[in-house]
Amino acid sequence: MHSRIYGFLLIIIAISCNPPEASESLQVQGTIADSAMVVSAHPLATEVGLKILHKGGNAVDAAIAVQFALAVVYPVAGNIGGGGFMIYRDKDGNTDALDFREAAPLAAHRDMYLDKNGDVIENLSTLGHLAAGIPGTVDGMVEAHKKYGSMPWEELVQPAIDLASKGFTLTKNEAEGLNENYTDFLAYNTTADQEWITDQWKEGDSIQWPDLAKTLTLIRDNQREGFYAGETAQLLIAEMHRGKGIITFEDLENYHASWRTPVIGQYKKYKVISMPPPSSGGIALMQLLYMMEDYPLKEWGFHSPKSIHYMAEAKKRVYADRATHLGDPNFHLVPQKELLNKKYLKTRMKSVNDNKSTPSDSISSGLFTPYESEETTHYSIVDAQGNAVSITTTLNGSYGSKVRVAGAGFFLNNEMDDFSIKPGTPNMYGLVGGEANAIAPFKRMLSSMTPTILEKDNELFMVVGTPGGSTIITSVFQAIINVTEHDMSMQGAVNAGRFHDQWRPDLLFIERNAVDKNAIENLN
């Protein structure tokens, strides 16, 4: 492998837990490591991962430790009450994908968020107990350890227990996040003993999570059973009963993470390894790369009007396909082969007008014969042997459903909103879905998470991912284009401003100061 590894994390603060809107790019200093790297959203979690590597653990060991640490120090997105996706590439180039996405409870049904007139009930899929899907994170980490872990499980969970029990210092962002959600915390948490609910947190405060420490101890000692059975399960179900949620013991018992085959494609000199459904990320990313590979983006220039125009037009068509064709492959036949057919994708681009944006109403998903056969956080890890892990994990919205399981200390996700709660109705990120992503018992909701690894000349080249809701796919796409076409450093690619188009609404979102004023004026 290369003698030096460049690691980075795409963080788009303004759109990580809200619908897309213009924002300033985050300017951060890059780091270069000689042999290994851990990049996460919180310095304490990164420190935990590095210590595991120093003890001789591999990339997956470090990833497990980072995941549990993030649940403590970064509860806005780090979690044990949510889910996510992992892309793995070992030092020899073998790849794997782990789906630990949340699933709908058995009592879930297609119209559960609609009133008697068939209209969407405001906030029901985003706030409170009914918004939560069955958590997948703990089972996912257990499965990752079984297959690829090298250190004892107990040693990987213990650092998170120490952080939760001994306490840690709040960052400015985390203090502000807890304060800003004070009203929702009060409204959706069901017991009186909630001393953590206040709007007086400030940077530098020390905070402890004793209930979470107890839950993590059960997970340390009992692995999967420490979460999906016993005391933790009882506390979770008691929380459901108090808040009129629908997750049951049977749901917890029957949930299992799934190993899947990565989406793998070739973009010029680069092999791209990304996440398959129920994430839309891998297919959508490869569609975008295939659509753009014959256009002279380097010649046109970074953020030139022509580059922006054609990339935005490709994004519209990809998100239209996403709305119609993508969903949980266990419930819906995803036409992956057809969606990634280069002839099909080039045909999709033939309708692009050189000088004018295509209205969203004029774009629909592609037609073909079916083949018969936020809140989110991301972390990237490479160990000294060259094994690489790219993991995106989420509660969906900021602090998920706002519900913290009393006595167990962890926040529940609000991932049910990622289903098409009513086909054609936008979710909290403005994404429109169809029948393929309708709610059904034990179905996994469609995701935009795009953990990705790139190779060049059979060597590890890039480990990338980002939070950002519906903008995740286009942000990862632009980071790759910035490095491979515009010769940016990896940190430069992160710092560069971004633009986003997701078909509906019919708007091009541009981060503040990301594009030259003259270029914007030349867009039609």
Tell whether 101 is covered by a domain: no
Q: In which element (H, E) is residue 376 found?
A: strand 376-382
Task: Tell me what pLDDT residue 174 has.
Answer: 93
Tell whether 169 is covered by a domain: yes
**Which structure tokens are listed for 400?**
């998920």
Task: Tell me what pLDDT residue 19 has.
Answer: 31
Tell whether 174 is covered by a domain: yes
Tell whether 200 is covered by a domain: yes
Instruction: Return the biggest CA–CA distance within the chain.
Output: 63
Among 137, 232, 324, 376, the active-site one is: 376
Confirm if 421 and 89 have CB atoms less than 8 A apart: no
Residue 323: other Cβ atoms inside 10 A: 24
Residue 359, preceding peptide bond in cis (omega within 30° of 0)? no
- Rounded Cα distance, 428 and 108, in Å: 19
CA geometry: angle 502, 503, 509, nearest 5 deg: 50
Split into its structural domains, the chain has a count of 1
DSSP-derived letter for residue 501 is -
Tell whether 31 is covered by a domain: yes
Calculate the dihedral angle through the C-alpha atoms of 312, 317, 319, 325, rounding to the nearest 10 degrees: -170
Confirm if 485 and 297 have CB atoms less than 8 A apart: yes
Strand, helix or coil at 207? strand
- Rounded Cα distance, 326 and 449, in Å: 13
Q: Is 232 a catalytic residue?
A: no
CA geometry: angle 10, 97, 494, nearest 5 deg: 10
DSSP secondary structure of 23-92:
-PPP----EEESS-EEE-SSHHHHHHHHHHHHTT--HHHHHHHHHHHHHHH-TTT--SSSEEEEEEE-TT
Tell whether 464 is covered by a domain: no
- Rounded Cα distance, 318 and 446, in Å: 15
The domain of 176 spans 18-84+116-259+376-382+393-418
Tell whether 232 is covered by a domain: yes
Task: Tell me what pLDDT residue 431 has.
Answer: 61
Tell whether 12 is covered by a domain: no
In the chain (524 residues long), the average pLDDT of successive 10-residue segments reads 36 29 42 86 97 98 98 97 98 98 97 94 96 98 98 98 97 95 96 88 96 98 98 98 98 98 97 97 96 95 91 91 90 93 92 72 46 69 97 94 97 94 68 79 94 97 87 90 91 83 68 73 66
- Rounded Cα distance, 495 and 23, in Å: 12
Task: Tell me what pLDDT residue 387 has.
Answer: 97
Look-up: residue for tokens 């040693």? 155
